[in-house]
Amino acid sequence: MFDVIVAGGGPTGMMLASELRLHGVHVLVLERQAEPTKEVRALGLHARSVEVIDQRGLLDRFLALGRQFPVGNHFAGIVKPQPVRLGTDYPFTLGIQQPIVERLLTERATELGAEIRRGREVVGLSQDDDGVTAELADGTRERSRFLVGCDGGRSTVRKLLGIGFPGEPPQTQWLLGEMELTAPLDDVVAVVTEVRTTDLRFGVGPSGDGLYRVVVPAATVAEDRTVPPSMDELRQQLQAVAGTDFGVHSPRWLSRFGDATRLAERYRDGRVLLAGDAAHVHPPLGGQGLNLGIQDAFNLGWKLAAEVGGWAPEGLLDSYHTERHPVAAEVLDNTRAQSELMSVEPGPQAARRLVSELMDLPEVHTYLIEKITGLGIRYDLGEGHQLLGRRMRDVQLKSGRLYEKLHTGRGLLVDRTGRLSVTGWQDRVDHVVDVDEELDVSGVLLRPDGHVAWAGEEQDELLTKLGIWFGTPA
């Protein structure tokens, strides 16, 4: 019997498996696809996701395979200069294709000892007081204490649970793929530049290995999005939108995606939970989907590990829904807003011009960038210090970088006074006494996901928070 089954081996599932293995949880990942996908649906990691990767000691692997781009034009494609100041050491978008992200996270999960089985599709499940039984398409069954559905927007796990997925159906679809072109690059750039003056939903650009990434609005919304478009359909749409098909040929893959916007009513049903696209889908505006899923896993992993390990305080696992559901709701709203601002109709265009003017104000521009990148997330942890509930940026301590202290996935108390103590919780919380002036608070207690659970100087207050987040002392 496994501790946790993760249904779905994409970036969200592999991030979750890695987080669970940091705490010794026995994990089985079941992935429907026999081979890793070649489809490039996401193109990069935002600043908060880069911080997450750094907090687990993986940053060098990702930086080596990615490119850094400014973050100035994420909101509805409105181009603005890079903000002067962002509260992060990583004020960039890391351009790195989704298959590479998935491969690096899979390697990490494997290194940590996760068991990964491909070509295994979950088609049924049942749960009781002791665990969950997953039924697979090949007729076999697997048993675990918990199961997490990371199986995408059409999640089988979510449907089997009967969890509602309210929202709006797709109004528009796009055709997407990677392929070769016969048209010269200069001609491609000229046409794309001209078309995008009126339609930001269109794009053609090099993606490496002599291939081009092509995205073009579809003529209609297909009933079954899982059926890829034909090359004839793609050529026809390129002609309709751009006046040329660029001589497209030899596709590596073709797909279609839409602008459906939906949010699961709840992220937990007994011993089964949802993460990533299984819990929320939205238009790809701002490139938030992949990042949202990775950050779901980062929030859930340590909490589920605590439940498995027997030290989770009451309500800790339920706080996953309490914290992440509102974050997804905000992402859905900002993608709705961006969709409106990208319409070619006169009303939305007038609103777009107004928003563009407002973004010339540094405070507005920074606010929208922090919303898109996840840097502005603040979980509602009650009243207290202004840092409470926010993620802690990296700071240089005398004993090393703060994020280096989080590689183990444990809690962390950074203590400038030398008078604070985590006695009783040493198996769950590290204690660093450091008087570096860059940290302008006497003491700060970080959860394993880097969010501030407490900031202050009173030991009695600290003890209360340790109990709330890390359970009964040993």
How does pLDDT run across 405-423, given as a tens digit for each residue?
Answer: 999 999 999 999 999 999 9
Q: For residue range 97-106, what is the model confidence (pLDDT) as tens digits?
A: 999 999 999 9
**Same domain (yes/no): 247, 270:** no
Q: Is 428 helix (H, G, I), strand (E, B) or coil?
A: coil
Dihedral pair phi/psi, residue 267, rounded to 5°: -100, -5
Does residue 282 lie in a domain region? yes
β-strands 429-433, 411-415 pairing:
parallel
| Six token digits for residue 402 | 């703060």
Q: For residue range 116-150, what is the model confidence (pLDDT) as tens digits?
A: 999 999 999 999 999 999 999 999 999 999 999 99
Q: Which helix (H) or strand (E) holds 305?
A: helix 289-309
CATH number, domain of 363, equals 3.50.50.60
Which of 70-74, 131-135, 377-381, 385-389 has the weakest average pLDDT? 70-74
CATH number, domain of 415, equals 3.40.30.120
Does residue 337 lie in a domain region? yes
Q: How confident is the model at residue 171 (pLDDT cuts 50, 70, 90)?
A: confident
Does residue 216 lie in a domain region? yes
For 272, residues 6+ apart whose C-beta sits below 8 A from its C-beta are 125, 127, 132, 146, 147, 148, 149, 157, 161
DSSP 140: -
pLDDT at 381 over 80: yes
pLDDT at 187 over 70: yes
β-strands 122-127, 249-258 pairing:
unpaired
Span 36-59, mean pLDDT?
Answer: 93
CA distance 396 to 394: 7
Q: How confident is the model at residue 207 (pLDDT cuts 50, 70, 90)?
A: confident
Percent of the chain at pLDDT exceeding 70: 99
Span 28-42, mean pLDDT?
Answer: 91
pLDDT at 438 over 80: no
The answer to whether 274 touches 148, Cβ cutoff 8 Å, is: yes
Last residue of a domain, one of 217, 232, 258: 258
pLDDT at 220 over 70: yes
**Same domain (yes/no): 43, 140:** yes
DSSP 404: G
What's residue 11's pLDDT?
97
Span 436-443, mean pLDDT?
Answer: 81
* Mean pLDDT estimate for the chain: 94
Span 432-449, mean pLDDT?
Answer: 88
> Domain residues for 186?
173-258
**Same domain (yes/no): 91, 195:** no
Does residue 369 lie in a domain region? yes
First to last CA, the chain: 27
**Same domain (yes/no): 312, 293:** yes
pLDDT at 440 over 90: no
Number of compact structural domains in the chain: 3
CA distances from 280 to 24, 263, 458 (A): 29, 4, 40
What's residue 259's pLDDT?
86
Closest CA to 94 of 49, 52, 131, 152: 49
Q: Please, what sign has the CA dihedral across residues 224, 230, 236, 241?
A: positive
Does residue 381 lie in a domain region? no
Does residue 312 lie in a domain region? yes
Residue type, 22: L
What's residue 285's pLDDT?
84
CA distance 319 to 470: 13
CATH number, domain of 203, equals 3.30.70.2450
pLDDT at 269 over 70: yes
Does residue 379 lie in a domain region? no
Residue 129: CB atoms within 10 Å: 6
**Same domain (yes/no): 153, 289:** yes
**Same domain (yes/no): 154, 231:** no
CA distance 241 to 227: 22
Does residue 378 lie in a domain region? no
CA distance 19 to 108: 10
What's residue 73's pLDDT?
65
Q: For residue range 299-320, what is the model confidence (pLDDT) as tens digits?
A: 999 999 999 999 999 999 999 9
Q: How confident is the model at residue 208 (pLDDT cuts 50, 70, 90)?
A: confident
pTM comes to: 0.94
Span 157-174, mean pLDDT?
Answer: 94
Closest CA to 118 of 29, 31, 13: 31
**Same domain (yes/no): 178, 161:** no
What's residue 212's pLDDT?
93
**Same domain (yes/no): 125, 195:** no
**Same domain (yes/no): 218, 159:** no
